[in-house]
Copies of this chain bind each other. A is one copy, B any other.
Amino acid sequence: MRVKITVSYDGTTYCGWQVQPNGITVQECVENAVFNATGEKVRVTGSGRTDAGVHALSQVAHFDTNCTIPPQKIYRALNVYLPPDIRVISSELVSDDFHACNNAKKKTYRYSFYISDVEQPLKERYAVMIEKTPDLTLMKENSKKFVGEHDFKAFCSSGSGAKTTVRTIYSVDVVLKEKDLSVTVTGNGFLYNMVRIMVGTLVDVGCGKTPPSTIDKMLLFGERSLGGKTLPARGLCLMNVEY
């Protein structure tokens, strides 16, 4: 049977989702948990990779198993063998043609900032400090430029290996709640570091560090060098995957 699982993790200490030679990954931990719970060595396929240090509220993955644990209870068995910063929050039986990566229709990422002139230890783990409140109106206006189908080549770090750099963005929501600023982006897929470069450029516009035309130029000319730096991983969280 094929089982779909939803996984939540604090990515701080992991080298991202995908198994790799130099360091512990979330995928590896989940695969080890499946082995410990079922005795089966399986591949756990995620909806996509998240980079080193990126968090997930709700990553989706699937794997095949012959175990006798009822599928809706498998998550509890896996949690017995997972470290506390990774938890499978649900599991369910899906048809054999369900594929966590290929069938993903929409993904939502959130990037979190806090406004302060001193680092705040209780926020630093999941958000990045900016010293002054950016121009929210300017950020909201310019966020609309990303919506729709665009070539996001300029919003992609080298080493991506994606076949095409065209993606569709459905929404970009900029929200300020007291001193917490978040930018939530929903799209049909994301290139390597895409959200971190998009949001970094958008916040640079809001802080007056770069003119709004930078976004237009990046979308038009596809040159990464026109944009600002890639934001740190810890502010980013995969919020949701839709099928």
Contacts and interface: CB of A to CB of B under 8 A. Distances in A.
Contacts of A87: 118-121
Contacts of A79: 118-119
A10 B125 contact: yes
A115 to B, nearest CB: 13
Nearest to A119: B87
Interface of A: 8-10, 55, 57, 75, 79, 84-90, 118-122, 124-126, 237
B10 A121 contact: yes
26 contacts: A8-B120, A8-B121, A8-B122, A9-B121, A9-B122, A10-B121, A10-B122, A55-B122, A57-B122, A75-B118, A79-B118, A79-B119, A84-B119, A84-B121, A84-B124, A85-B121, A86-B121, A87-B119, A87-B120, A87-B121, A88-B118, A89-B120, A90-B118, A122-B126, A122-B237, A125-B125
Contacts of A9: 121-122
Nearest to A120: B8
Q: How many copies does the complex hold?
A: 2
Contacts of A126: 122
A85 B87 CA distance: 24
A30 B143 CA distance: 42
A182 B159 CA distance: 44
A10 B90 CA distance: 30
B118 A89 contact: yes
Contacts of A237: 122
Contacts of A89: 118, 120
Nearest to A126: B122
A119 B56 CA distance: 14
A10 B126 CA distance: 13
Nearest to A89: B118
Contacts of A88: 118
A75 B116 CA distance: 14
Nearest to A55: B122
A79 to B, nearest CB: 7
Most buried by B among A79, A85, A118: A118
A24 B84 CA distance: 23
A235 B9 CA distance: 19
